[in-house]
Amino acid sequence: MMGMLYLVPTPVGNLEDITLRALRVLKEADLILAEDTRTTSVLLKHYDIHNQLMSHHKFNEHGTSANVVERLCAGQTVALVSDAGTPGISDPGFFLVREAVAAGIEVQCLPGATAFVPALVASGLPDDRFCFEGFLPQKKGRQTRLAALAMEQRTMVIYESPYRLVKTMQQLAEVMGQDRRACVAREISKLHEECRRGSLEELIAHFTATPPRGEIVLIVAGCDEKTIKEMNKKNNIKDIPA
């Protein structure tokens, strides 16, 4: 009988932000795969969980996945966690899931914590349609990606390091305009949680004067229809009839 691979969301800050089902799965799993065993050990110790723990991160996932799939095929239950949030969302997870699916193993992802959802909902920007960009390219393809986002009509969700936040917002302001609305959410569910809203110009000024710390989610408003029409007219692009 085949085993089961569970993707288990873990708290992005407050250790209480974990579901009862997630705790049960972690307690029952034959093996827990962790992005960083030191980080996950803190969570497991807090909830008195002592199951086998193994490192599984972006630098070794290609090497460890084959062994994990063998254990799943042998009937074991494996739980995959990242340092925080839902595995596979800008974290390791996709490669193992793909290999497990290819081997005919059932994969279940538990609902739970992820950083961008509370940031998006609390931003005050439209959340009925949005696109998740994760971390933008650092070098190759960055300018092309930024230029493409300038015309994106959906609200954009971007992960960023506190050390690169101001630079990224400056680059976004160059292609989108300084008055584009945005929100910086940081340290979600932690003691110093902050959700600062304003134009890109206002946010750049604030975080230049007060360097940010902690985990960052940047929410940027989409391009409005008026601007789209102006850009299309400038570039001689005609709207396609519905």
pLDDT per residue as tens digits for the range 211-221: 999 999 999 99
* Average per-residue pLDDT for the chain: 94
* pLDDT of 240 higher than 60: no
Rounded Cα–Cα distance for residues 139 and 143 (Å): 8
**Burial profile 190-227: b = 16 or more Cβ within 10 angstroms, e = fewer:** eeeeebbbebbbebbeebeeeebeebbbbbbbbbeeeb
Give pLDDT tens digits for 135-154.
999 989 999 999 999 999 99
Rounded percentage of the chain residues whose pLDDT exceeds 70: 95
Largest Cα–Cα distance in the chain? 64
Rounded Cα–Cα distance for residues 132 and 152 (Å): 12
Pairing of strands 181-186, 194-199: antiparallel
DSSP the chain: ---EEEE--B-SS-TT-S-HHHHHHHHH-SEEEESSHHHHHHHHHHTT----EEE--TTTHHHHHHHHHHHHHTT-EEEEE-SSB-TTSSSS-HHHHHHHHHTT-EEEE-----SHHHHHHHT-S--SSEEEEEEPPSSTTHHHHHHHHTT--SEEEEEE-TTTHHHHHHHHHHHH-TT-EEEEEESTTSTT-EEEEEEHHHHHHHHHHS---S-EEEEEPPPPHHHHHHHHHHTT-PPPP-
Torsion of CA 162, 180, 237, 141, to 10 degrees: -10
Rounded Cα–Cα distance for residues 95 and 59 (Å): 12
CB atoms within 10 A of CB 38: 10
pLDDT-derived band at 158 (thresholds 50, 70, 90) equals very high
The reported pTM is 0.89
Type of residue numbered 66: A
Which pLDDT score is estimated for 238? 63
Q: Kindly state the tokens that stand for 85.
A: 């949030």
Residues 6+ apart with CB under 8 A from 154: 129, 130, 131, 222
* pLDDT of 74 higher than 70: yes
CB atoms within 10 A of CB 61: 20
